[in-house]
């Protein structure tokens, strides 16, 4: 199991962009600049919702965060492990344009509304659902592409830190259009992801 190795010291360095944890049950984001405040805020959120505080809450939070940190921040971590980029600009999404080309070439086929909503809900609660900075023109382009397609959770989904895709579009694409066979991406998708082939939420046939 990964462990934050530099951040528990009272005056030690803070991870890039602070401590961040996303509750997978409801998508609530806990963000703080000290380890103690981080764990305490998570406990307050659980108590406010009538839930018990797990004895290993801090460890669970560390495990999630270590999936996103650069090498050197966590103990027992492989420095060569593929890891997502949780700070994205529109330039990072240029390689993903090939996905749009495959979608256009396939005749703009989309999955059912029910399936798109299911995927969007999963993404909205994922710690790899991150903000995209810059390029208002790019944002308008994406809006034009998916103008006729919406999900119930569009306001809560942004960019995928793993595949660098715009989630408001991605949730509508058939599996065959997406790069689901890429081993590097598969190693970074969290277990709950709807594109994780051996995960509980994967539906290879795009069935409802």
List pLDDT tens digits, range 75-105: 777 777 777 777 666 666 666 666 666 676 6
Q: Are residues 94 and 183 in the same domain?
A: yes
Higher pLDDT, 180 or 141: 180
Question: Is the model's pLDDT at 205 over the cut of 70?
Answer: no
Q: In the prediction, which pLDDT does 40 show?
A: 94
Higher pLDDT, 180 or 144: 180
Q: In the prediction, which pLDDT does 142 show?
A: 61
Q: Are residues 67 and 142 in the same domain?
A: no
pLDDT in tens, 36-63: 999 999 999 999 999 999 999 999 999 8
**pTM, entire model:** 0.78
Q: Are residues 94 and 167 in the same domain?
A: yes
Distance, in Å, from the CA atom of 95 to the CA atom of 159, rounded to the nearest integer, reads: 14
Distance, in Å, from the CA atom of 169 to the CA atom of 147, rounded to the nearest integer, reads: 10
Q: In the prediction, which pLDDT does 31 show?
A: 92
Q: Is residue 123 within 8 Å of residue 165, measured between CB atoms?
A: no
Q: In the prediction, which pLDDT does 1 show?
A: 47
Q: Are residues 33 and 107 in the same domain?
A: no
CB half-sphere exposure, 99, CA atoms < 13 A: 24
Domain that holds residue 170: 88-188
Residue 48 inside a domain? The answer is yes
Q: Are residues 54 and 121 in the same domain?
A: no
Residue 130 inside a domain? The answer is yes
142 Cβ partners below 8 Å, 6+ apart?
166, 168, 169
Q: Residue 119's closest CA among 89, 144, 95, 154?
A: 154
pLDDT in tens, 113-169: 999 999 999 999 999 998 876 555 555 666 555 556 788 998 899 888 888 888 888
Q: Are residues 95 and 184 in the same domain?
A: yes
195 pLDDT band, cuts 50/70/90, is very high
Residue 158 inside a domain? The answer is yes
Q: In the prediction, which pLDDT does 131 show?
A: 80
Question: Is the model's pLDDT at 14 over the cut of 70?
Answer: yes
Q: In the prediction, which pLDDT does 201 show?
A: 93
123 sits in which H/E element: helix 113-124
Q: Are residues 183 and 95 in the same domain?
A: yes
Q: Are residues 11 and 69 in the same domain?
A: yes
117 Cβ partners below 8 Å, 6+ apart?
151, 152, 153
Say what percent of the chain tops pLDDT 90. 31
Q: Residue 203's closest CA among 170, 193, 73, 94?
A: 193
Q: In the prediction, which pLDDT does 92 show?
A: 66
Whole-Å CA distances, 56 to 28, 45, 62: 18, 15, 10
Q: In the prediction, which pLDDT does 109 show?
A: 81
Higher pLDDT, 31 or 98: 31
Question: Is the model's pLDDT at 67 over the cut of 60?
Answer: yes
13 Cβ partners below 8 Å, 6+ apart?
6, 7
């Amino acid at each position: 199991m990964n462990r934050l190795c530099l951040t528990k010291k009272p005056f030690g360095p803070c991870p890039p962009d602070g401590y961040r944890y996303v509750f997978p049950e409801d998508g609530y984001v806990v963000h703080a600049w000290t380890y103690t405040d981080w764990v305490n805020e998570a406990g307050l959120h659980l108590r406010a919702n009538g839930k018990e505080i797990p004895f290993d809450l801090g460890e669970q939070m560390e495990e999630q965060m270590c999936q996103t940190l650069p090498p050197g921040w966590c103990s027992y971590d492989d420095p060569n492990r593929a890891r997502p980029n949780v700070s994205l600009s529109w330039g990072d999404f240029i390689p993903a344009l090939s996905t749009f080309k495959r979608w256009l070439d396939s005749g703009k086929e989309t999955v059912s509304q029910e399936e798109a909503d299911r995927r969007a809900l999963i993404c909205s609660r994922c710690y790899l659902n991150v903000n995209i900075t810059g390029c208002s023109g790019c944002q308008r382009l994406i809006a034009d592409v998916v103008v006729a397609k919406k999900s119930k959770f569009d306001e809560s989904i942004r960019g995928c830190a793993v595949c660098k895709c715009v989630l408001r579009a991605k949730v509508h694409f058939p599996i065959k259009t997406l790069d689901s066979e890429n081993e590097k991406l598969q190693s970074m998708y969290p277990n709950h992801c709807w594109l994780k082939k051996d995960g509980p939420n994967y539906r290879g046939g795009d069935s409802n």
